[in-house]
Amino acid sequence: MNFQLHSTASGSHARAGKITTERGDIHTPIFMPVGTAAAVKGIFHRDLKEAGAEIILANTYHLYLRPGTAVLEAAGGVHGFSSWDRPVLTDSGGFQVFSLAGRRKLSPEGCRFSSHIDGSRHLFTPENVVDTQRSIGADIMMAFDECPPGDAPREYAARSLELTHGWLERCFDRYGKTSPKYGRYQSLFPIVQGCVYPDLRERSARFVRQFDADGYAIGGLAVGEPAPVMYEMIELVNDILPPDKPRYLMGVGKPVNILEAIDRGVDMFDCVMPTRNGRNGMLFTSEGVINIRNEKWKNDFSPVDPAGHCFADLQYSKAYLRHLAISGEMLAAEIASLHNISFYLWLVKEARRRIVGGDFARWKSEMVDKLGRRL
């Protein structure tokens, strides 16, 4: 994998670059639609491609439980299994460890947990998480980590960081001793943790950069801490991480969060918000956020985004989409999800264009004022 930095915005740390993989190029900044179980909910691959998706995210925890590595290996990995021919990044399952607090136990060995599907018992270790991602065939794999809650006490956050760093060393040891199963190169990204404590974040950033990885991730943010604290942690970490490698902010977030993070030098993003919120009637537009179920849209026959920042075939009116949502039509969730994914992809593509064009700072300031509004 290779990363080329093409441009840096004037008066900002925002960057435009290109990640080259064996399955295609990824132009940064980039948003990665979340396909947890090797599918972005309600959206065909052809529509993802037309909307501009260059890479999607899948989840190790979910694919390990179902369909399982035996099925994936028989299919030639997740690409052969799902017929997606562009890059895939896999989360290691660390966030699922965080979210399964009531059904997991952590130790230096790894994480023992009960399946949310059938209650069966399993063990994730740094070694078998790397093995599982080798079986999945992800182009970018993530190191196994623990994601502490945003309000974790410092003592807990420090213990968690030591656990994550110990696991990270074992992940890279396993990575170096294994090879891809399907003849395609796989990168392994370490993850910076440390909760909201600057000294822990600094320690983690300095620790992970010693591995000279193809890229680096920032985890454990947007998990309950205030947004200004998140931005402070991003700035601190990006001042330490190598400038010639891509930086991935995991699980973030709202359009405003993405623009603020781009401004601070982040290159890669993922979040379930476009599809999850879309299924519940929330639409992101260039003018602000719409709850399409509201009565106010009943007789509004204008398109969802008047600026046209949506999928080419989605010029449906607000009134029609509200009708579908109120009627419980599954098409409402599909249209809303595709609209939101398309908008997120437009947003990062436009940010890239503005970075290269030299007016990112002005444009970003104008967009931030609009994107958080409730219409």
- Give backbone dihedrals phi and psi of 328, rounded to 5 degrees, phi first: 75, 20
Question: E strands, the chain, where?
Answer: 2-8, 15-21, 24-28, 30-33, 56-59, 88-91, 104-107, 110-114, 121-124, 140-142, 187-189, 191-192, 216-218, 247-249, 268-271, 282-285, 288-291
In the block, tokens 């969802």 appear at 304
The distance between the two most distant Cα atoms of the chain, rounded to a whole number of Å, is: 62
Neighbours of 313 (CB within 10 A): 11
Rg of the chain's alpha carbons, rounded to an integer? 20
- Alpha-helix runs per DSSP H in 83-153: 94-99, 126-136
Between CA 314 and CA 299 the distance in angstroms is: 18
Residue 338, helix vs strand vs coil: helix
Say if CB 278 and CB 296 are below 8 A apart. Answer: no
Known active-site residue 91:
yes
Active-site entry in 47, 145, 214, 270: 270
For the residues of 273-333, what is the DSSP string, one character each? HHHHHHHTTEEEETTEEEETTSGGGTT--SBSSTT--S-TT---BHHHHHHHHHTT-HHHH
Query: Do 65 and 38 contact (CB within 8 A), yes or no?
Result: no
Given 91, 139, 214, 305, the catalytic residue: 91
Active site residues: 91, 270
